[in-house]
Amino acid sequence: MSIEIAARGAAATADERLISNLRSGLLLAKEMLKSIASSFTALGTRDYPSIKKLIEEVISTKRRVEMLQRDFLTYFSKVAPSLYNREEWMGILSKVSGIVDKISGIAYRAEYLSLKPCEIPESVRATLSEMVTLLASMIDEYVSMMNHALINPSRALESRGKVASLEAEMDSKFRAATFAILESPSLGQLALLLLSIAEMLEDIADLLNAAADDLYLITLSAA
């Protein structure tokens, strides 16, 4: 019995450390999103130097996340035998990595847009910015879910529900962004790039929602 208790204690400690690592990565992803939102604003004023600096910040922050991910894998390889939810932990890591990759992809697209003479309509920039704001809220709820996952399952479930609600709202924002872009004929071929950005923002919401499923399974195991 004492061996079983010790094993559960070791697993719980490992879970806490893995959550801490992933939470740090997501908070850095939120910083990246803030830079993306600022770049959308700068597109309206054609402030290329500011956009270039913002993109550099995004890429620098991505490197920090990648360092965290290497630390995660190093630690995970040591504690994997004691974990009850190995697949879920790796699933969350994969989704966080996907989120960061998509944010950096959006950053490069924003930089490309800044080099073009075509003006991005305010309605398009505003809708994309609303999507970014919604994603920041989703990350906040997901982090709240992380904070309660191992100690308060009912509170974690509440946050999981909020993540799902925000993801549904993102679907609506994505449609609005799509229509705003398609109704701006002056964009020409740049419309394809803007549609790609909108789709990537929605993909991030989908990844967060799927990661919430993974985390909830971990929550159930810890209860």
200 and 105 Cβ atoms separated by less than 8 Å: yes
Tokens of 173: 């924002």
125 and 41 Cβ atoms separated by less than 8 Å: yes
Please report where in the chains the tokens 């956009």 appear, as a residue. Answer: 51
Q: How high is the pLDDT of residue 221? A: 82
Q: How high is the pLDDT of residue 223? A: 64
Is 2-222 assigned to CATH 1.20.58.220?
A: yes
Euclidean distance between CA atoms 153 and 211, whole angstroms: 16
Q: How high is the pLDDT of residue 135? A: 97
Mean pLDDT for each consecutive 10-residue tract of the chain (223 residues)?
A: 44 86 97 95 85 94 97 95 91 97 96 87 94 97 95 94 96 95 90 96 98 94 73
Nearest CA to 98 out of 181, 198, 203 is that of 203
What's phi and psi for 14, nearest 5 deg?
-65, -45
> Domain extents for the chain?
2-222
Q: How high is the pLDDT of residue 102? A: 98
Euclidean distance between CA atoms 167 and 165, whole angstroms: 5
The model scores a pTM over 0.85: yes
Tokens of 154: 């009912």
Q: How high is the pLDDT of residue 82? A: 84
